């Protein structure tokens, strides 16, 4: 079927191509073999990893993590790191002289304190006597950074502060400040200025659907460097409604008891490596953060990564999978902070990372949590010019300098790996444009390709509802299998592998340009000033041209033994063809815009 291997532009001007593509979609005819070579290679890895991944063991790890309020460097956090290290030792990772190594590193973070909660309770004394929260039952009701009360606790009047015009100095001394807003946003006014002993806040993002999930408590924190010790409790929408109506009728008195500890910050980090046989210093990194108290965020990522490491070690040791040529490095970290420290302390190693895969919120049982599995793409033009089928999540568009927008094979490789899983079982997945907020960010900031595997919108994200019952062990397996196959693919990249990936990239570029040209044409034809619209659309299409041109070029660094003349020639050919076609598309659009201007 020459259609697919012909120039990109044909599909944009000649309806015939559209018709063939439409046919293949409608009748689910398998797409021409080129793109499927990659899927076939990935499938070969996936069926093995699938069989070795033990779902119940992954769920056990989530259950273990669930006991703890994991805050970077606190005893709970380090206990979970110890658990991971123990499990890796038990799975045959050794400290040294082995291709399968595990290392635990302790770092003291000067000038920082870790926060460890021990006990907490919030009780209403008047107008009625009732217990609202305890740490044991609802650990997220206690805000990170809460200080201890006297052993006997404090009894104080609750004062709603959101309607107060101003709070005089110590105007809230001995009181508990009550707000619908976030604790962070009122801390200065209520505690530093007003002298409140504590805060009660009911803030919760709308994407948690608090009016439907009335008992959810949303996780929050107090400023870590806050000079005045205070505690803070988060309450649900239901308790907000109760307190608001009680306060409308008279005073409310609460009793709070909190026991927490601030200790010199001592962060434990665990790394497991499957040492590359040929290029041991080149690293494929796989990362999961251990901190934060949720089951899906991120006990699931930590658990899936552990089970992935165990499965790969067993398969490789048994010779069922080849030992990778490059090193696979599995890292359990404190979110973002650990990677930033690694970059500073070991720039030699950090800059040997060829690519990073981040597992963060990978176990959602979407029948319960809503949302779906998402590949958060490396920065591409859809992060700026977001057009269907791309869409930002409810988490929202984050900080992204244009300099981060570098074309790469990574988005489409992981997409193919997820598609390959659907050959064996149904799986609802999609991509979202870059947003940030996890461990892919510090790599992207240094120009290292990095991608995030997550779920959104999880209705229980960062709430007391993010518990074991919301975790699907099959979902953890699917994500781990897809990510592991893509990582292995890059760790063993033969010229055949790279050629198949380049073919797939060509297909993806065709699909993408088709999609964007369609949007651009519509925008020009609908514009009041078609000529101006043409210039705007040209910018967007130019961005996609640059992006895919770079993406083609990015595979040159993949072959284990370096790029070959044949590969470079293929890359040049594809780049040249894309540029040529770009000019004819632009001509076509310019023609459309001129016609539209005359009508």
Sole window of 70-78, 289-297, 534-542, 578-586 interacting with Zn ion (rule: CB under 5 A): 289-297
SS3 content of the chain, % helix, strand, coil (to 5): 45, 20, 35
Q: Torsion-angle region of residue 326: left (phi > 0), alpha (psi -120 to 50) or beta?
A: beta
Nearer to Zn ion, 50 or 297 (CB): 297
Q: Which stretch binds Zn ion (CB under 5 A): 303-311, 354-362, 382-390, 591-599?
A: 354-362
Our CB check for Zn ion shows the closer of 39 and 455 to be: 455
Among residues 291, 297, 334, 412, the one that binds Zn ion under rule CB under 5 A:
297
- Segment contacting Zn ion (CB under 5 A): 254-262, 298-306, 425-433, 463-471? 298-306
- By CB under 5 A, which span of 73-81, 279-287, 357-365, 581-589 interacts with Zn ion? 357-365
**What is the CA angle 340-89-338, rounded to 5?**
5
Closer residue to Zn ion, CB minimum distance, 9 or 298: 298
Burial class (CB in 10 A: 0-12, 13-18, 19+), 583: exposed
Q: Are residues 485 and 401 in contact, defined by beta-carbon separation less than 8 angstroms? A: no
d(CA 239, CA 376): 35
Chain centroid to Cα 371, Å, comes to: 14
Residue 155, φ and ψ in degrees, nearest 5: -110, 125
**282/376 with CB nearer Zn ion:** 376
Residue from the set 298, 302, 382, 432 that interacts with Zn ion by CB under 5 A: 298
User: Least separation, in Å, of the C-beta of 332 and Zn ion?
Assistant: 13
Backbone angles phi, psi at 266, to 5 degrees: -135, 95
From the CB of 554, what's the least distance to Zn ion, in Å?
27
CA angle 69/114/269 to nearest 5° reads: 80
Q: Which is nearer to Zn ion, 443 or 534 (CB)?
A: 443
Residue 295 Cβ vs Zn ion, minimum distance, rounded to whole Å: 11
The residue whose two tokens read 């799986």 is 427
Q: Which is nearer to Zn ion, 307 or 334 (CB)?
A: 334
Compute the least distance from the CB of residue 438 to Zn ion, in Å.
6
Smallest gap from residue 437 Cβ to Zn ion (A): 8
**Number of chain positions touching Zn ion (CB under 5 A):** 3
Residue 218 near residue 187, CB atoms below 8 Å? no
Q: Contact, 196 vs 181, CB < 8 A? A: no
Least separation in angstroms between CB 296 and Zn ion = 9
d(CA 502, CA 124): 64
261 pairs with which residues across the strands?
116
Which is nearer to Zn ion, 298 or 311 (by Cβ)?
298
Q: Which stretch binds Zn ion (CB under 5 A): 297-305, 384-392, 422-430, 494-502?
A: 297-305
For residue 427, the minimal CB distance to Zn ion (Å) is 21
Per-residue x/- marks for Zn ion, 491-530, CB under 5 A?
A: ----------------------------------------
| Residue closer to Zn ion, measured from CB, 298 or 570 | 298
Smallest distance from Zn ion to CB 478, Å: 18
């970077």: which residue's tokens? Answer: 72
Tokens 């050629």 locate to 499
Contacts of 86 (CB under 8 A, 6+ apart): none
360 binds Zn ion (CB under 5 A): yes
Query: Does residue number 193 form part of the binding site for Zn ion (CB under 5 A)?
Result: no
DSSP H helices, 230-357, are: 237-249, 299-317, 337-345, 347-350
Distance CA 295, CA 120 (A): 21
Give the nearer residue to Zn ion in terms of CB position, either 50 or 360. 360
Torsion angles phi and psi, residue 569, rounded to 5: -65, -40
| C-alpha R_g of the chain | 27
* Reduced 3-state DSSP string for 228-261: CCCEEEECCHHHHHHHHHHHHHCCCEEEEEEEEE
Q: CB under 5 A: which stretch of 140-148, 193-201, 293-301, 346-354 binds Zn ion? A: 293-301
Nearer to Zn ion, 257 or 455 (CB): 455
In angstroms, what is the minimal distance from the CB of 376 to Zn ion? 12
Sole window of 76-84, 208-216, 292-300, 416-424 interacting with Zn ion (rule: CB under 5 A): 292-300
Does position 291 interact with Zn ion (CB under 5 A)? The reply is no
Closest approach of Zn ion to the CB of residue 377, in Å? 18
Residue with smaller CB distance to Zn ion, 70 or 521: 70
What is the closest distance, in whole angstroms, from the C-beta atom of residue 359 to Zn ion in the complex?
Answer: 9
Smallest distance, Å, CB 360 to Zn ion? 4
Q: Which of 258, 475, 255 is nearest to 374 (CA)?
A: 475
Dist CA 200 CA 143 (whole Å): 10
Nearer to Zn ion among residue 360 and residue 435 (C-beta)? 360
Considering the complex, state which of residue 338 and residue 420 has its C-beta at the smaller distance from Zn ion: 338
Assign residue 532 a region (left: φ > 0; alpha: ψ between -120 and 50; beta: otherwise): alpha
Query: Cα(115)–Cα(99) distance, rounded to whole angstroms?
Result: 37
Residue 356 has which token pair?
């990073």
Instruction: Give me the residues that bind Zn ion (CB under 5 A), please.
Output: 297-298, 360
């Amino acid at each position: 079927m020459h259609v697919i291997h012909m120039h990109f532009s044909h599909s944009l001007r000649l309806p015939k191509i559209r018709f063939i593509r439409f046919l293949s979609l409608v009748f689910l005819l398998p797409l021409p073999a080129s793109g499927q070579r990659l899927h076939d290679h990935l499938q070969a890895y996936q069926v093995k990893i699938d069989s070795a991944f033990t779902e119940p063991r992954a769920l056990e790890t989530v259950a273990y993590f669930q006991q703890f309020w994991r805050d970077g460097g606190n005893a709970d956090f380090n206990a979970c790191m110890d658990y991971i290290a123990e499990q890796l030792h038990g799975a045959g990772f050794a400290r040294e002289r082995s291709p399968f190594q595990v290392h635990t590193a302790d770092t003291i973070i000067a000038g920082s304190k870790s926060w460890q909660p021990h006990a907490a309770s919030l009780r209403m004394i008047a107008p009625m006597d009732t217990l609202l929260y305890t740490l044991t039952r609802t650990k997220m009701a206690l805000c990170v950074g809460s200080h201890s009360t006297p052993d006997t606790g404090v009894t104080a009047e609750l004062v709603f502060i959101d309607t107060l015009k101003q709070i005089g100095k110590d105007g809230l001394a001995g009181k508990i400040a009550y707000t619908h807003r976030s604790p962070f946003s009122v801390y200065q006014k209520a505690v530093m200025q007003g002298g409140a002993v504590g805060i009660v806040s009911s803030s919760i993002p709308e994407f948690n659907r608090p009016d439907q999930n009335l008992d959810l408590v949303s996780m929050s924190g107090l400023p870590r460097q806050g000079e005045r010790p205070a505690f803070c409790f988060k309450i649900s929408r239901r308790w907000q409604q109760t307190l608001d109506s009680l306060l409308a009728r008279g005073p409310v008195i609460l009793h709070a008891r909190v026991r927490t500890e601030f200790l010199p910050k001592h962060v434990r980090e665990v790394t497991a490596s499957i040492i590359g046989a040929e290029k041991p210093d080149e690293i494929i990194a796989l990362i999961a953060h251990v901190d934060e108290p949720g089951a899906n965020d991120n006990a699931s990522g930590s658990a899936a990564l552990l089970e992935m490491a165990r499965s790969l070690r067993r398969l490789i040791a048994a010779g069922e999978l080849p030992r990778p040529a490059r090193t696979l490095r599995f890292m359990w970290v404190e979110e973002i902070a650990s990677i930033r420290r690694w970059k500073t302390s070991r720039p030699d190693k950090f800059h040997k990372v060829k690519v990073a895969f981040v597992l963060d919120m990978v176990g959602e049982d979407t029948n319960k949590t809503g949302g779906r599995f998402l590949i958060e793409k490396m920065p591409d033009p859809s992060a700026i010019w977001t057009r269907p089928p791309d869409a930002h999540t409810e988490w929202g568009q984050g900080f992204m300098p244009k300099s981060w927008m570098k074309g790469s094979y990574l988005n489409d490789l992981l997409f193919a790996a997820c598609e390959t899983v659907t050959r064996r079982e149904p799986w609802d997945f999609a991509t979202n444009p870059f947003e940030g907020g996890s461990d892919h960010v510090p790599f992207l900031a240094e120009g290292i390709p990095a991608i995030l595997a997550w779920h959104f919108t999880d209705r229980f994200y960062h709430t007391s509802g993010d518990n074991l019952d919301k975790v699907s062990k099959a979902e953890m397996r699917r994500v781990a299998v897809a990510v592991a196959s893509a990582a292995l693919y890059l760790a063993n990249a033969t010229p055949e592998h790279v050629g198949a990936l380049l073919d797939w990239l060509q297909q993806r570029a065709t699909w993408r340009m088709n999609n964007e040209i369609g949007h651009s044409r519509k925008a020009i034809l609908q514009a009041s000033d078609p000529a101006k619209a043409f210039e705007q659309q040209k910018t967007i299409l130019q961005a996609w041209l640059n992006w895919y041109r770079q993406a083609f070029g990015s595979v040159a660094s993949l072959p284990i033994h370096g790029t070959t003349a044949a590969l470079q020639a293929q890359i040049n050919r594809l780049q040249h063809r894309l540029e040529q076609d770009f000019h004819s598309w632009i001509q076509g659009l310019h023609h459309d815009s001129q016609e539209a201007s005359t009508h």
